[in-house]
Structure 1
């Protein structure tokens, strides 16, 4: 009997040692790949600035960097897919897959937005995560994420800066050559 419990204890210790790495936390500094330039916001300050800008428009919205290193947005982020969208879903995008960040002016509601576009090399890089919604027939992937944020021009700059800090490169939209 003692031999069996000693073997079980040894196996439990080996399993615990093999699984001793804890998953990374939300907004982990492990995803900061570059240091901020002098005079620029740091990694955590930029995340808070984006989250605060979204919460100003809608207190139920949320922004964070997931434990896998994706930028995740919660709220009504894709209005073109918003028929039955619930706030239990998150839209996430890897910062290395972001091609450019556009400004979207809304002259009807006067709540402007920004849109993060996927790079051509990584189409459909935006994915919806969360609980299944059987009323929503929209696909769980997209080629962009749009979100309402205020002020939207500094919000765009903050998103571009965060992509830079996380090792991505935002390209400005320009004319074809």
Structure 2
């Protein structure tokens, strides 16, 4: 009787362990740091915090993080057209391996400057929304860039480029097609 109970307990433990998937890495996991920072530069986690501070300075409800999938994700006024109806229920994410360029954009109308992360030419529409669209959201959920309000925008651009480097990507402004 005891042997039968022990066998049943072991069988139950094995069947339960097969049902559980391995735990994904946490948000901002150091597992996605592929290169070490050079001396005198911010490290991986410090760079993430710096970028997050820049988006939160504009809007305390905004957020920047590295997802459990290793993508750079923004929440807040991202790629928006109907700002007054924003619910912040979605994130816009992009892989560091497909970032072609990061632009610092000066906004002379709202005076809230921005950065734009562009997808590589070979990977169009690489930026994507994670979450459920609300009824006022008319965007298709994919894009060729992500625009984010930040301050100070030029140092934030440099920090994003640095994070792309630390995560194993290369911001690449191509001059392949310049005609002389």
TM-score by length of 1: 0.89
Partners in 2 of 1:88 and 1:142 — Cα distance? 18
> What is the match of residue 136 of structure 1?
137
Partners in 2 of 1:15 and 1:163 — Cα distance? 39
Partners in 1 of 2:8 and 2:155 — Cα distance? 60
> What is the match of residue 111 of structure 1?
112
Shift of 1:8: 5.3
Partners in 1 of 2:136 and 2:104 — Cα distance? 30
How many residue pairs get aligned? The number is 177
- SS at 1:159's partner residue? helix
User: Is the alpha carbon distance of 1:82 and 1:158 closer, same or farther for their aligned partners in structure 2, counting shifts above 3 Å?
Assistant: same
Structure 1 stretches lacking a partner, 5+ long: none
TM-score by length of 2: 0.88
Deviation readout 1:83-126 (Å, 9 max, x if unpaired):
85430110001110100001111011211100000011111111
Partners in 2 of 1:10 and 1:174 — Cα distance? 61
Shift of 1:22: 2.2
Whether 2:22 is the aligned partner of 1:25: answer no
Partners in 2 of 1:13 and 1:55 — Cα distance? 45
- SS at 1:12's partner residue? helix
> What is the match of residue 48 of structure 2?
47
RMSD: 2.3
Shift of 1:4: 6.9
After the TM superposition, which of the residue ranges 146-155 and 125-134 deviates more from structure 2? 125-134
Contact preservation (8 Å) 1:76, 1:86:
no
User: Is the alpha carbon distance of 1:47 and 1:41 closer, same or farther for their aligned partners in structure 2, counting shifts above 3 Å?
Assistant: same
Partners in 1 of 2:109 and 2:174 — Cα distance? 25
> What is the match of residue 125 of structure 2?
124
Partners in 2 of 1:132 and 1:6 — Cα distance? 49
Contact preservation (8 Å) 1:61, 1:75:
yes
After the TM superposition, which of the residue ranges 104-113 and 4-13 deviates more from structure 2? 4-13
Q: How does 1:7-86 map to 2 (within 5 A)?
A: 7=8, 9-13=10-14, 15-16=16-17, 19=20, 21-80=22-81, 84-86=85-87
- SS at 1:99's partner residue? strand
Structure 2 stretches lacking a partner, 5+ long: none
